[in-house]
Structure 1
Amino acid sequence: MNKISYQYKALAVAALATLLGAGACTKNFEDYNTDPTGLTEDQLKPDFNFIGGFYPQIQSAIYYNYNNTVWEYQLQQNLIGDVYSGYMMSPNPFQGNVNNFTYALVDGWNGFPFSLAYNRVMAPIFEVKRRGAQTVAPDFWGVALILKVEAMHRVTDIYGPIPYSQYGQGGTTVGYDDQESIYKRFFKELDTAVTNLKTYMTEKPGATPFAKFDMIYGGDYRQWVKFANSLRLRLAMRIVEADPVTAKAEGEKALADEGGLLELNTDNVMVSGYGIKHPLYTITNKDGWSDISMNASMESYLVGYDDPRTGKFFDPASDYPGQYKGIRIGSNVTAKPGYSGFSTLAYKNTKTFADATPLQLMTAAEVFFLRAEAALRNWSNPGGTAQELYEKGISTSLSQWGVADRATEYINDATSTPADYTDPKNAGNNSPALSSITIRWDDAASFDVKLERIITQKWIAIFPEGQEAWSEFRRTGYPKLFPVVNNLSNGEISTSVQIRRINFPQAEYTANQAEVQKAIQLLGGPDNGGTRLWWDKP
């Protein structure tokens, strides 16, 4: 693992790609101390190149594929959140099946969400701050804060306590913050971001100085405000069991803000441009790595519901023509091509996953489901009843995936339930369905049944963003996911409760040991995958 440096070096080369009109981000700019163009920081100030050049890296390093280094995304998310969410499972028996999928956590994999976030997101944001963005370009700083919260909430939701408030104070050691403090800081940073952007739009209506650096919204600050409000709503709901007072206050603030929320699929937070490629295309396709396939839990829900998005998400199994077959987490996967003929992500038939597919961070469908839960919890201003918002979430997702014509039929299906799972290669992996939840809304149902219905459809709708799906599963217990077949955690992780977090990186024990020991105290339990995070209540 790379040592994390908590003090970022001053760089000018970040603006190079923008200045030269390059089609891809400059390689390894965090490793350089000088700009090979010979331009000074002052010479880069016109058109905000001196700070704007950092943003392509920041945006493309959240759902990590900066420089199209697919293997880093694979370790950051694909072999962690994408699998623990119930979305995917690998047909590759990495390390003889003694790996994350059997809860024998691999430190060489699990430090990447940490190191990539600090080196590729926090470091350039710190440099943007050092160059004076807070005062010379507060609108740019507002965008940086939104990206910072989006990136770092994913990191704290993997590990728990992380270095945050003291980041940038120098050296290779820094103190960790408890997760409650981090979340409260997130909300304050979103306050600043929204205020900065609204102020700029009032003072300079129609101006788009950020456009050439923006891989998401083309410089439209109205859209960034919607993203910030939607992100606030997501984070408010995340902490609803741990701090219901703050959750309700922050959620209602998001719902009431005149800047609005993500509501249309054109509002979706999708990262593209600068030559970035979607890592899942390489990881899943048989001409590439053939390292990721459908998870058995996805098969159970999609097949059981005859979900019209199934063929948009996955290709049928080549070993079982016309069928969709997933692999159960923790299976003793045999060497390729053993399970490689099970369903892959859709790259051949519908070609959903291709090099040019944008990277999805948040969708309008997710926000409708958040609003449905807000209505269920009697928060103010959700914009409709729980049923109306739930159904809008489904129809928005079906529209996103090009199957809107099935919306009425699907929403009114009161009989389909998740399917039993059968592994045609190993009957020992078979399992009956764990849930009998149907699709059609039932207003007479209990709170828990309504919540399961909302979260189950939300889980389907936010595919393939496995990190967020895993967090929501841990928060709510829904959808009900098949547990690991083989648990090699030596009792540290419960098979039935399932994995709750990832250990602190070994590199931190080496370089920042005293602070890691304090972080374990903040965590409130041993540094293993069975310890719950602050917001993760039984």
Structure 2
Amino acid sequence: MNTTKILNKYMVLFTALAIGFSSCTKDFEDLNTNNTGVSDEDLKPNGQDLEIFFRQAQMSIYNFSGGGDPNSYQVQQNLNADVYSGYFMSPTPFNSGQNNLNYAMVNGWNGEPFKVLYVNVLNSLNKLKNNGLAETYPAVWAAALVVKAEATSRVTDIYGPIPYSGVGITGSIPYDSQEDIYKRLFLELDTARNLLLTFNNGTDTTQVPANIGEADLVYQGVDNKTRFQKWLRLANSLRLRLAMRIVKANPQLAQTEAEKALDPANGGVIDNNADNFRITVPSDANFSNPLYFIAKNWGDTRINASLESYMVGYKDPRIAKYMDKATDKVITGQYKGIRAGAAGLTKDAYIGYSSLNINDGTPTFSASTAPMLMTAAEVYFLRAEAALRGWANAGGSVQALYEQGIQSSFSQWGVQGANAYIQNNTNTPIAYVDPRNSRNNAPAPTTITVQWNEGATAEEKLERIITQKWLAIFPEGQEAWSEFRRTGYPRIFPVVVNNSGGLIDTEVQIRRLPFPQNEYNTNAAEVQKAIQLLGGPDNGGTRLWWDKEGTNF
């Protein structure tokens, strides 16, 4: 499929993208800058193009940006999904306090995930395809397809319908329904799985470029046989995640794809932390972990009150790994988050609330910390839900898989005390108290405990599974927001101030981002068709295809 025309279109369209930070003190540069510094004419058949563009695609899933300035990630995710997931909140009143954090949606922010997908990810992968990667190095192309599926799924889960199957046509660019996009992603994962199985079952491990170790930012320091076994397990794990996402929209397809992912004959799923999906931060070009950069250098992100409620309430030993204690003189030494859409927000007032763990004597997060996009813990929780639904190949009882998910998370973070945590049946999330503004106070969101209860209803069991999955996959807010929308769990605090003008229900919370303004400016007729595919108005209150009201069973 030739994607050049549509990708060039979006590269032009987003060059003039307005970011919309009217009250930010940072110098925001054009986010469409080509961070590689390499043009099409510079591509070399000796593998240099692989190192450049495969790396670019991987880094752009969770966009690092170039030169150590992660403004793209900030509007791609941190000021959207990271907040909507209940993980983070900014103390900064961007745009004079009218912004996405309180549902006054900023057009310039809303287009960033869209731009990053087409310009940085699909554009890079298309260059590799046009240079014959699929034919020359099929196993590497399989890994590229996994990257493509991961990046695309995140963006369709932000907007709903997006252009996909029509990539490469001339003229106006049609959108696909989200249902059709998911079906195509499953087919592309079929291709990736088959290519990886062929490579892993063969004996010729020289069918990879010599610089694969530099190009592959996910699985480094291993031999090629091991490398592509890990990519195969990642492909299957991603299929399992996407299958579970659609369980309320297409239960039969969800079960079919999940059981395919879990079938041992297909190569297995991630079951240990050595196989976790992490994107290594390259030491060259001054790249850095963007979440760390925003927390440390700009002070623009702090812990969300919802995360405080659960981790303090459960006396979760991982809390010291996740966040620093507050430095505000009123709450010094406490773990204290900020309510999303907080009333009375000023940076001077809330900058001293708990941050990501960046200032501890042995901080968990640094400029070189690899962003984590999928973990063994998440996969164990997905398997627990599969077992709860009675699907084949889950590989254990619901309780055993649930508890293994917790154990894997504790091991990942290097924390002791998992057994005591698992056995606790009394601790519950706490009420939130904001010492600076009582309007932000809120009662405890739930009474759910950690210890498994085999006699509970299926719905209560799912709340336990998703709540612990949410705690385990921190700080990956995009996946956490998607699962919150799918299941309604964990129960997180709604925004205090809702400036949506009635478009987004405070209790239901935000369900998506509106389509980019540039699409209205240049592809208006197709956007109107996309709204029909969406099935509701183009605002943050409209549910996606897989986001169905009602119970989970």
Using the size of structure 2 for normalisation, the TM-score is 0.89
Equivalent AA in structure 2 for residue 224 of structure 1: W
The percentage of aligned residue pairs carrying the same residue is 53
Q: CA deviation at 1:424?
A: 0.4
Q: CA deviation at 1:205?
A: 4.6
* Cα shift readout 1:19-47 (whole Å, capped 9, x = no counterpart): xxxxxxx9634773432xxxxx5xx334x
* Cα shift readout 1:372-414 (whole Å, capped 9, x = no counterpart): 00000000010100000000000100111111x2011000000
Q: CA deviation at 1:503?
A: 0.1
* 279, 288, 301: which one aligns with 1:292: 301
Q: How does 1:447-526 map to 2 (within 5 A)?
A: 447-526=458-537
* 275, 278, 292: which one aligns with 1:270: 278
Q: CA deviation at 1:197?
A: 1.4
Partner of 2:398: 386
Partner of 2:240: 233
Q: In 2, are the aligned partners of 1:92 and 1:333 still within 8 Å (CA)?
A: no
1:251 equivalent to 2:258? Answer yes
1:407 equivalent to 2:425? Answer no
Q: In 2, are the aligned partners of 1:7 and 1:170 still within 8 Å (CA)?
A: no
State the distance in 1 between where 2:71 and 2:413 align.
Answer: 27
Partner of 1:222: 229
Q: In 1, are the aligned partners of 2:313 and 2:427 still within 8 Å (CA)?
A: yes
* Cα shift readout 1:136-155 (whole Å, capped 9, x = no counterpart): 22222211110000001000
- The worse-fitting range, judged by mean Cα deviation, of 436-445 and 219-228 is 219-228
Partner of 2:540: 529
Partner of 1:113: 113
Equivalent AA in structure 2 for residue 116 of structure 1: V
User: What stretches of structure 1 of length at least 5 have no aligned partner?
Assistant: 10-25, 36-40
State the distance in 1 between where 2:185 and 2:347 align.
Answer: 44
State the distance in 1 between where 2:204 and 2:334 align.
Answer: 53
Q: In 1, are the aligned partners of 2:64 and 2:289 still within 8 Å (CA)?
A: yes
Q: CA deviation at 1:333?
A: 4.2
Partner of 2:185: 186
Q: CA deviation at 1:69?
A: 3.2
Q: In 1, are the aligned partners of 2:65 and 2:72 still within 8 Å (CA)?
A: no
Q: How does 1:67-466 map to 2 (within 5 A)?
A: 67=66, 68-170=68-170, 173-207=172-206, 209=209, 210-218=212-220, 219=224, 220-258=227-265, 259-275=267-283, 276-285=287-296, 288-319=297-328, 320-349=331-360, 350-403=362-415, 405-466=416-477
Q: CA deviation at 1:264?
A: 0.7
State the distance in 2 between where 1:501 and 1:489 align.
Answer: 13
Q: CA deviation at 1:271?
A: 0.7
Cα gap change, 1:339/1:241 in structure 2, threshold over 3 Å: closer, same or farther? Answer: same
State the distance in 1 between where 2:344 and 2:165 align.
Answer: 43
What is the SS of the residue equivalent to 2:429? coil
- Over the aligned positions, Cα root-mean-square deviation in angstroms equals 1.8
Q: CA deviation at 1:117?
A: 1.1
State the distance in 2 between where 1:175 and 1:481 align.
Answer: 36
User: What stretches of structure 2 of length at least 5 have no aligned partner?
Assistant: 10-32
Cα gap change, 1:333/1:206 in structure 2, threshold over 3 Å: closer, same or farther? Answer: farther
Using the size of structure 1 for normalisation, the TM-score is 0.91
Q: In 1, are the aligned partners of 2:85 and 2:477 still within 8 Å (CA)?
A: yes
What is the SS of the residue equivalent to 2:373? strand
Q: In 2, are the aligned partners of 1:161 and 1:178 still within 8 Å (CA)?
A: yes
Figure out how many residues of one structure are paired with residues of the other and give that number.
508
Partner of 2:62: 63
State the distance in 2 between where 1:50 and 1:461 align.
Answer: 36
Q: In 2, are the aligned partners of 1:145 and 1:189 still within 8 Å (CA)?
A: yes
Q: In 1, are the aligned partners of 2:35 and 2:65 still within 8 Å (CA)?
A: no
State the distance in 2 between where 1:71 and 1:399 align.
Answer: 32
- The worse-fitting range, judged by mean Cα deviation, of 93-102 and 243-252 is 93-102
What is the SS of the residue equivalent to 1:474? helix
State the distance in 2 between where 1:232 and 1:7 align.
Answer: 26
- The worse-fitting range, judged by mean Cα deviation, of 325-334 and 370-379 is 325-334
What is the SS of the residue equivalent to 1:422? coil
What is the SS of the residue equivalent to 1:361? strand
